[in-house]
Amino acid sequence: MSSITPKKISDQVYRIDADPSRGMKVPVTIYADEGLLSKMMTDRTLSQAMNVATLPGIQGTAVVLPDGHEGYGFPVGGVAAMDAEEGMISPGGVGYDINCGVRLLRLNLSEKEARPKLKELVTDLFNSIPSGVGSEGAIKLNYSQLDEVLVRGVNWAIDHGYGTKDDANVCEENGQIKNADPNKVSNTARKRGAPQLGSLGSGNHFLEVQRIEKIYDEEAAKRMGIQEGNVTVLIHCGSRGFGHQICSDYLRVSEQALKKYNINLPDRELACVPNTSEEGESYRKAMFAALNFAWSNRQMITHWTRKSFERVFKKSESDLDMKLVYDVAHNIAKVEKHKIDGKEKSVVVHRKGATRAFPANRDEIPLKYRDLGQPVLIPGSMGTGSWILLGKSNSMNLSFGSTAHGAGRMMSRSKARRDFTEEQVKKSLTDKGIFIKSLTRDGVVEETPEAYKDVDAVVNVSHELGIATKVAKLVPIGVIKG
């Protein structure tokens, strides 16, 4: 249990004041309700956030979002902005699964039409999309082809027939971040990444067939092309072993550089380097390569998903009107402009287990949604549902343009394996009308809905604070796990 008791500022805002004796340069702000906060106090979430507040060059406040839980160095659901000139960049502040993210596809197919073929559909998807630990994609790339993916991201996939420009137009960064440099990536990372492009992976990654249960914002829903009762597909995965290796490589580089830059940290897991240092630049260029890998990865899975639907429903992709609504990144660090103490400043925003939630009229939002605000996708657990939100201006005042990225774990994978059986979990899902296919028993048990916080509570905090507000709730009807 945490011995730290944050001060209550309001029903959804708590604060830990900066304590210079602990080396804190800024306070910690926690956005949560009482229930979510009490869960954070059962692990190291708050002490990790206080450690983040000690990093050189940190600005404003260290933020913990409502899905916050203990992570590596930084809490998951943590946001920190560092001065772009004087501050740090930290591989642990992005995380191992670089650009783990979600994308949402919508169709003009109703649940009623989909139900009779649900098992056939989930089985077809399961057979055509590689999943599981170390799973390999259906495509074998040599190193020069991989380099092209690392520079071009989603556009590489589109040029190779895995989608259209319309898909790229509704991805964060249009699915291709500039200044990625494959030369900053180790051979070990390439070896792990080359065979994995176009695969789902394991852990909390999934592909879900859902129905739109309820719409809360008619105008936004219309712009996104979604309507109640229709089917959507949510794809949740990242940069696989490729991003994991880049994080490992640069954590080692950062740890070795601490002495060189005279950086003292309360926790070695926070290893960081000055943003403008040679090591900082190299990490950023390698991380950007992993971002592009992940966007390309989700694009290829999208293509195979569309093909599955075509096969099972014997209709073409255009008949099904299978459009990408949006694609967001979760684990990422980018230089952005934010107001700090009333002045606009360039900062490196680390979002670890956090989603960008920019309001309307920011240049970074794709044209399609620029005057509306950025769509935000928050996956829940496979038994509860997921949400579409819309970024609002309070996100800029409160959380450096960020909101939660999911329900957030509250039970370790090992405890889930001890407490639940595969039969139990499958039965409880079947009782809710959810059909699941998984490669392994652990894939089902570790991801039991009981292992996660209540995604509705997480979303309510964001909605009430006006960081990102409710557009629609989606509930699963078919799930594929690695």
- 405 an active-site residue? yes
Is 481 known as a binding-site position? yes
State which H helix or E strand residue 232 sits in. Answer: strand 230-237
Is 207 known as a binding-site position? yes
Is 85 known as a binding-site position? no
The separation between CA 224 and the C-alpha centre of its own chain, rounded to angstroms, equals 20
Beta bridge partners of 470: 389
Query: How far is residue 154's CA from residue 140's CA, in Å, rounded to a whole number?
Result: 17
**Residue 365 CB contacts under 8 Å (≥ 6 apart), including other chains:** 358, 373, 374, 391
Is 206 known as a binding-site position? yes
Query: How far is residue 169's CA from residue 185's CA, in Å, rounded to a whole number?
Result: 27
Is 132 known as a binding-site position? no
Is 342 known as a binding-site position? no
Beta bridge partners of 403: 355
- In sequence order, what E strands does 294-408 have? 323-329, 332-340, 343-352, 354-356, 375-378, 386-391, 402-404
Is 407 known as a binding-site position? yes
Beta bridge partners of 473: 214, 387
Is 381 known as a binding-site position? yes
Q: Which of 430, 357, 355 is nearest to 391 (CA)?
A: 357
Is 236 known as a binding-site position? yes
Is 208 known as a binding-site position? yes
Is 379 known as a binding-site position? yes
Structure tokens at 354: 């956090």
Q: What are the φ/ψ torsions at residue 236 (nearest 5 degrees)?
A: -125, 105
Coil, strand or helix at 12: coil
Structure tokens at 313: 């429903």
Is 174 known as a binding-site position? no
Structure tokens at 317: 């992709």
Query: How far is residue 429's CA from residue 413's CA, in Å, rounded to a whole number?
Result: 19
Coil, strand or helix at 260: coil
Of 69, 244, 303, 405, which is the active-site residue? 405
Structure tokens at 353: 């287990």
Query: Do the bridges between strand 323-329 and strand 273-274 make them parallel or antiparallel, or are there none, so unpaired?
Result: unpaired
Which amino acid makes up residue 457? A
Is 134 known as a binding-site position? no
Q: Which of 60, 62, 43 is nearest to 52 (CA)?
A: 62
Is 391 known as a binding-site position? no
Annotated binding-site positions: 97, 204-208, 236, 330-331, 379-382, 386, 405-408, 481
Annotated binding-site positions for GMP: 204-208, 330-331, 379-382, 386, 405-408, 481
Which residues are catalytically annotated?
405
Annotated binding-site positions for Mn(2+): 97, 205, 236, 330
